[in-house]
């Protein structure tokens, strides 16, 4: 994940260099560390399909709500969300469409790298595909509900 964040941070700085993007970069590193921590703290739900589905739905809603809050608050975004918003602002296309396209690109890159490294699909599963198609529209929906913070 750290390599992805670094590459996207560099791309973001090339497209629209601003110092406050560095704080978004630090945020992404912090989030990665928290994911590692909570993956050890939150009990696994393997074997219980109902809990897996509930966790997944809660995660989708939480991610989309969090991204919408960051966008509306004007706080520094992580590199992935920042790149998304740069493309949204330049193309004037909806967040949902750009998010779906970027997530599809990230998934395809992961797929190619997985096959090149010999692990095949790796961590790509049905959840990846659902997330790729659903998070963008959810962010769009939350952006319609959450008022901009000035």
Q: What is the pLDDT of residues 15-34, one digit of tens each?
A: 777 777 777 777 777 877 88
- Candidates 60, 54, 146, 45; CA nearest to 103 is 60
Q: Domains of the chain: which residue ranges?
A: 2-145
85: tokens are: 């918003």
Q: What is the pLDDT of residues 34-90, one digit of tens each?
A: 878 877 887 777 778 888 889 899 999 999 999 999 889 877 787 788 889 999 999
Does residue 140 have a pLDDT over 80? Answer: yes
Question: What pLDDT, on the 0 to 100 scale, is given for residue 39?
Answer: 77
The whole-angstrom distance between residue 110's C-alpha and the CA centroid of its chain comes to 14
* Average of per-residue pLDDT across 3-23: 75
Mean pLDDT of the chain: 85
């Amino acid at each position: 994940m750290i390599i992805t964040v670094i590459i996207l941070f560099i791309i973001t700085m090339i497209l629209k260099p601003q110092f406050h993007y560095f704080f978004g970069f630090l945020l992404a590193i912090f989030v990665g560390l928290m994911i590692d921590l909570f993956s050890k703290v939150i009990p696994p739900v393997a074997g219980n399909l109902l809990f897996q589905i509930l966790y997944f739905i809660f995660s989708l809603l939480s991610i989309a709500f969090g991204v919408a809050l960051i966008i509306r608050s004007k706080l520094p975004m992580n590199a992935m969300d920042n790149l998304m918003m740069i493309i949204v602002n330049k193309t004037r296309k909806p967040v949902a469409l750009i998010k779906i396209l970027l997530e599809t690109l990230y998934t395809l890159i992961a797929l190619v790298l997985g096959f090149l490294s010999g692990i095949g699909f790796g961590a790509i599963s049905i959840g990846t595909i659902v997330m790729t198609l659903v998070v963008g529209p959810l962010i769009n929906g939350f952006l319609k509900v959450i008022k901009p913070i000035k």
